[in-house]
Copies of this chain bind each other. A is one copy, B any other.
Amino acid sequence: MSPERFAKIKAVLAMRQPDLTVCMEEVHKAHNLSAVVRTADAIGIHEVHAIFPQKGVRMRPHTAGGSLNWVKVHRYRHIEEAVTALRTQGMQIVATNLSAKAKDFRDIDYTQPTALLVGQELQGISPEALALADHHVVIPMLGMVQSLNVSVASALILYEAQRQRQNAGMYGHSRLPETEWQRLLFERGYP
């Protein structure tokens, strides 16, 4: 490994946001899943969550732009299992909801420990997931279509979180626990 690459990895680890994540409820299409993981990596998320009752997740390494080496995907069979795990980590649960009653996605404080719940391509998020959430958010839709692509919607909310965290100085210093930092640097830095 070149010294440049080692320095790049260290810089990236210093910007990781252990208290921000995204949880995908049965997002089926590999290109959507992979695009979400790629965006997650880009704003400093190193662990994401996915619910798949039946079978495993297929990823599309190319669409993911290499991010699958850098972002861990935790899998669950049921939404309740996932939300319990996220709450144990002290996260507020923010679910997308295409409803007039949901808040504008820019009106949430994402500097708090946050897990974003996004839904399936066709049916969207389940009533069960909505019931488990602390906040419901919607991205304004000013045209004829009802909804955005799930990877697009996830990115808009995650980059709003990035903007707020940047302004709050949360990318300025390492936020990973020291042991995890060491482990990641060792695993990834010396493959």
| Chain A interface residues toward B at CB < 8 A | 8-9, 12, 15, 31, 35, 38-45, 63-67, 69-70, 106, 139-149, 151-152, 155-156, 159, 162-163, 166, 171
Find out whether the CB atom of A67 lies under 8 angstroms from the CB atom of B149. no
Within 8 Å by CB of A41, from B69, B144, B155, lies B144
Question: How many copies of this chain does the complex contain?
Answer: 2
Find out whether the CB atom of B155 lies under 8 angstroms from the CB atom of A148. yes
Q: Can you name 15 extra interface pairs (CB under 8 A) apart from A35-B149, A139-B159, A152-B155?
A: A9-B144, A38-B145, A38-B152, A39-B152, A41-B144, A42-B143, A44-B142, A63-B149, A64-B145, A66-B146, A69-B144, A70-B144, A106-B163, A140-B162, A151-B152
Find out whether the CB atom of A65 lies under 8 angstroms from the CB atom of B147. yes
Alpha-carbon distance A59/B35, docked complex (angstroms): 19
| A169, chain B: closest CB distance, angstroms | 14
Find out whether the CB atom of B151 lies under 8 angstroms from the CB atom of A67. no
- Chain B residues with CB under 8 A of A162: 140, 142
Residue of B nearest to A188 (CB): B144
Within 8 Å by CB of A142, from B141, B143, B148, B171, lies B171
Find out whether the CB atom of B31 lies under 8 angstroms from the CB atom of A143. no
Find out whether the CB atom of B146 lies under 8 angstroms from the CB atom of A149. no
| A127, chain B: closest CB distance, angstroms | 22
Find out whether the CB atom of A141 lies under 8 angstroms from the CB atom of B42. yes
- Chain B residues with CB under 8 A of A9: 144
- Chain B residues with CB under 8 A of A171: 142
A-B contact pairs, 28 of them (CB 8 A): A12-B142, A31-B31, A35-B152, A38-B149, A39-B148, A40-B143, A41-B145, A42-B140, A42-B141, A42-B142, A42-B143, A43-B143, A44-B142, A63-B149, A64-B145, A65-B148, A66-B146, A67-B144, A67-B145, A69-B144, A106-B163, A139-B159, A140-B162, A142-B162, A142-B171, A149-B151, A152-B152, A152-B155
